[in-house]
Amino acid sequence: MLRPVFAANWKMNNGPTAAVEFMRSFISVYPKQNDRTVIFFPPALSVAPVRAAVRERADLLLGVQNIHWEAQGAFTGEISASMARDAGATVVLVGHSERRHVFGETDEECGKKVVAAEKAGLTPMLCVGEKLEERERGETESVVLRQLRAGLSGLSAPHSGPLLIAYEPVWAIGTGKTATPADAAAVHRVLRAELSAFAGEKAGRVPILYGGSVNQGNASALLAAENVDGLLVGGASLDPNTWLSITTA
Ligand code: PEP
């Protein structure tokens, strides 16, 4: 995966029709770039129509926002990793803060989803991040390390398969409050050091993205911070012009 990595988390926005329209207008202004990776996380229902509509643009990766850890069965409303793969996804978000804090997803479940993703050939993007009260109690480091270790606990070490990490402080997601580049760099350094224990010399190759109220105005400065290899963007990825200016930052 080429760095920088720009990932758009559309959350529950852009159903099949709107998602295809967005992608058609985006590819008309975004020619293939050989020095970066762009990933879209549309709602799961939009993945197959988008892949079909922009089949010629294999450089634009698609992912799903969540999977169940089981391969199939009586899990009404869920999708499995292999279904996501079949629809055209190659990446999956695991442990996004809305999954953890709105839907009560646990560290242990995130670990099982990472394993399921790997088994099905999906690259997991494991999201970690502290809540405001945890930051204020000085627990940022212990929280992100706990989430990272639990999320990766089911993978064999030293790990060499494809993997992405996203640091998303919960207090910065959808709030307009952004971590400073220095805040982001401090946490990314801790994550990189922990990845060395897990992935050995390959740790340096695991992209660590920052996410949380990224916009056109702050993208370049965040991307320039040490150990920040990309950006995971929610709200600002929903407007094609804003997203274009972030991905070409
Ligand atoms: C996200 O949902 O991953 C995110 C970072 O959202 P926003 O950019 O809107 O804060």
pLDDT at 176: 87
CA–CA distance, 60 with 58 (Å, rounded to integer): 5
The CA angle 134-138-140, to the nearest 5 degrees, is 60
pLDDT at 97: 97
Q: Which amino acid makes up residue 12? A: M
Which of 102, 215, 233, 238 for mutating ligand 1's site (highest number of atoms within 8 Å of CB)? 233
CA of 228 relative to ligand 1 center, distance in Å: 16
Is the CB of 211 within 6 Å of ligand 1?
yes
Domain that holds residue 129: 5-247
CATH of the domain at 149: 3.20.20.70
pLDDT at 157: 78
Tell me if 92 sits within 8 A of 62, measured CB to CB. Answer: no
Q: Tell me if residue 168 is catalytic.
A: yes
Is the CB of 173 within 6 Å of ligand 1?
yes
Longest dimension (CA), the chain: 49
Extended strands (E) in 129-211: 164-167, 208-211
Average pLDDT across each block of 10 residues of the chain; the chain has 249 residues. List them in order. Answer: 94 98 95 95 98 94 98 98 98 98 98 97 98 96 98 87 95 91 97 89 89 96 97 97 93
pTM over 0.95: yes
CA of 173 relative to ligand 1 center, distance in Å: 5
Torsion region of 248: left, alpha or beta (phi above 0 gives left; psi -120 to 50 gives alpha): alpha
Whether the upstream peptide bond of residue 162 has omega within 30° of 0, thus cis, is no
Question: How many other C-beta atoms are found inside a 10 Å radius of the C-beta of residue 52?
Answer: 11
How many structural domains is the chain composed of?
Answer: 1
